[in-house]
A and B are shown apart, each in its own frame.
Chain A
């Protein structure tokens, strides 16, 4: 028999490649269409956020938190604020907590909409992307009304939120919730249940439960592998526990409905379902919100007692952890950010080999990374 052997081809996917969602490089080794090895290279967007955190005052760091996961800046603000508040002894007014939850959950919807749209783009469907952005635009407009920015909100601050909701804002959200549910149905019909989409994503990039835990995956990546764990319910922060007790939302978990448990489709469907659950949380908050102050009693200059605290919150992409160390001064000693994208991306090294080149794109898309966060 003839022993025909072809040479492996090393292809650089990125730093400028449509499928890497930013400036990330995956060095892919291929044998024809078959990927035999992959190595992610990061750091193209490294902006030294942690070092900046050690050089600016507590409150001044807030705008920098917007910039690591720029698709979910509200959640980043929230994570950082909660971490600093864990060191301080302040009471957050209830209305502020409600507004925080509304903003965080709306931002989660917006973030998942981008994830949905860009995943469609990776798979080759362009139209769902623009439909998703249409609704995201609405959310961004709502944010624009409450805080004046569309992407880098710097809205949720240490001690509460910067502004109270403008008049009529909550009603607009109610309207959005009603419309969004119909649109959500369309997303599912148009892309999630499309035969080609299912064929492209089901049984592709299967992450078993053990693998997910070993790699420290969190968020939809973990739940897509069938692990029923959500920080909002299981390590509750703010008023999420109350909302859970009220039975307002559920935690979607991957079921392996279209293929194998833990495949790309499962991960994705978890995200899509989460949009609806977030909507329920927003609805609950709208029904229960009361008048009141939106910021706790803070000294004029922010003083953070010495100590260290780690607070992890459920970011759209997983656990966003802030580990802050203070020596009682005006500036943090250490401001560690545990970005979920960074951790979730590590799984690629093991996931990509022995898939097709087109699957590579599908798998990278299904991890739903934001490069601003992996590189910080």
Chain B
């Protein structure tokens, strides 16, 4: 029986008789966290490499080509090692405890949010009924870390970056949440596993965006808000390298800086997975349904296919984010606010209204 943690299940199965249950719980959590951290780090590193390659090819160049041989695949690892070995600098005027805590908080909260993601049907770190709620709450925590970093650095540029981040995230949490309500109305659940499973009809094409005409515009709104949430161009104002030097992370260097960097890519992955689950069918696709038919519902190959389908969808979203970043200029802070409050929020509300009416009529008919 699934009690919410597959690692605990495995441990219970293989642990020697008489092990105290708190030890089992603790070790299961430890293993889970370890795997999560490793997985997210690998994904973030891959995303960094991918970003550099995508940017390169969009700009008629190759991007990294040397480290590791094939298309510079080991570039991120090399960079990571370099960043680890760099001198850890804390500015003299900085607020030391906050300065040190900020990257940890940023990375920690994004890891916590990622814990709620499903890896494959039935494979997850934490099965939370209010999963989406948890993800949104945790990913908002990063803002606190960013503001802390900006303030603690004792630099004018970082304060600008931090204030921009705070204003931007406050503005975009609203359309982000509201636009997510549209698929929630269709799905009726906050649980990511369940939400994904509900799209399995129509040979795996019964995605929410096809279930209700208002989900597609909601998806566009969600995607734009997610860009702003993750500080991606054209909403990368907190960093705004041509205006604020490097924004809130101006004073950071070495591994602490790389935490912010990893957070950005982890957040991109998180948002892409959420988009995939709540708009684009989650695990479901014709391949998934085919694999299920061929191998059987519980077969691990079916699960693998499902997991890969989700991964492909997530990376599709990440690619779109990169594509946008290397196409668009940056918006100004007041335009960010205008866009958030005057365009995205009312449009998202309209989508909710439309989806509700459609759903009510549909259900009424059916």
Contact = CB atoms under 8 A, between A and B. Distances in A.
- Say whether A associates with B: yes
Interface of A: 9, 11, 17-19, 32-33, 120-127, 130-131, 134, 190-191, 194, 196-197, 199-200, 356-361
Nearest to B328: A196
Interface centre among B58, B244, B329 (most CB of A within 10 A): B329
A125 B331 contact: no
B234 interface: yes
B59 A124 contact: no
Given A33-B160, A199-B335, A358-B332, A127 B242 contact: no
A130 B60 contact: yes
Contacts of A361: 242-243
B327 interface: yes
B333 interface: yes
Given A124-B236, A125-B328, A191-B329, A18 B245 contact: yes
Contacts of B163: 32
Nearest to A359: B332
Contacts of A194: 328-329
Given A125-B329, A200-B332, A358 B156 contact: no
Contacts of B241: 18
B206 interface: no
A196 B329 contact: yes
Interface string B48-74: 000000010011110000000000000
Contact of A357 (B160, B328, B331): B160
A356 B333 contact: yes
B148 to A, nearest CB: 20
Per DSSP, are chain B's interface residues mostly helix, strand or loop, or mixed?
Answer: loop
B233 A124 contact: yes
7 contacts: A18-B241, A120-B329, A123-B329, A126-B326, A130-B59, A196-B335, A358-B243
A1 B245 CA distance: 38
A33 B335 CA distance: 13
A11 B159 CA distance: 12
Nearest to A125: B329
B37 to A, nearest CB: 31
Interface size classification for chain B: 20 to 34
B60 A131 contact: yes
Nearest to A204: B332
Contact of B326 (A127, A199, A200, A359): A127
Interface centre among A19, A126, A190 (most CB of B within 10 A): A126
Contacts of B292: none
A18 B61 CA distance: 22
B60 A124 contact: no
Nearest to B164: A33
A190 to B, nearest CB: 8
B61 A124 contact: no
Contacts of A121: 242
Interface in B201-226: none
Contacts of A358: 237, 240, 243, 330, 332-333
A356 B327 contact: no
B334 interface: yes
A243 B60 CA distance: 36
A113 to B, nearest CB: 14
Nearest to B156: A11
B330 A196 contact: yes
Nearest to B332: A358
A182 to B, nearest CB: 15
A231 B242 CA distance: 33
Contacts of A191: 329
Contacts of B233: 124
B243 to A, nearest CB: 5
Contacts of B59: 126-127, 130-131
Interface centre among B157, B234, B242 (most CB of A within 10 A): B242
Contact of A356 (B61, B329, B334): B334
Nearest to A28: B156
B242 A124 contact: yes
Nearest to B236: A124
Contacts of A123: 242, 329-330
B332 A356 contact: yes
B147 to A, nearest CB: 15
Given A19-B242, A200-B331, A356-B332, 5 more contacts: A32-B163, A33-B160, A127-B59, A199-B331, A361-B243
A33 B333 contact: yes
B245 A199 contact: no
A191 B329 CA distance: 8
A134 to B, nearest CB: 6
A106 B334 CA distance: 39
A225 to B, nearest CB: 23
A358 B234 CA distance: 13
Nearest to A198: B329
A363 B240 CA distance: 16
Given A11-B156, A124-B233, A196 B331 contact: yes
Given A126-B326, A200-B329, A18 B242 contact: yes
A9 B156 contact: yes
Q: 7 tightest A-B contacts by CB?
A: A124-B330, A125-B329, A130-B59, A123-B329, A358-B332, A124-B329, A127-B326
Nearest to A360: B243
A124 B333 contact: no
B243 A19 contact: yes
A280 B13 CA distance: 80
B177 to A, nearest CB: 24
B242 A122 contact: yes
Contact of B243 (A127, A197, A357): A357
Contacts of B327: 125, 127, 190
Nearest to A197: B329
Contacts of A199: 331-332, 335
B329 A130 contact: no
A126 B326 CA distance: 6
A9 B160 CA distance: 11
A360 B242 CA distance: 11
A101 to B, nearest CB: 30
Interface centre among B160, B163, B243, B334 (most CB of A within 10 A): B243
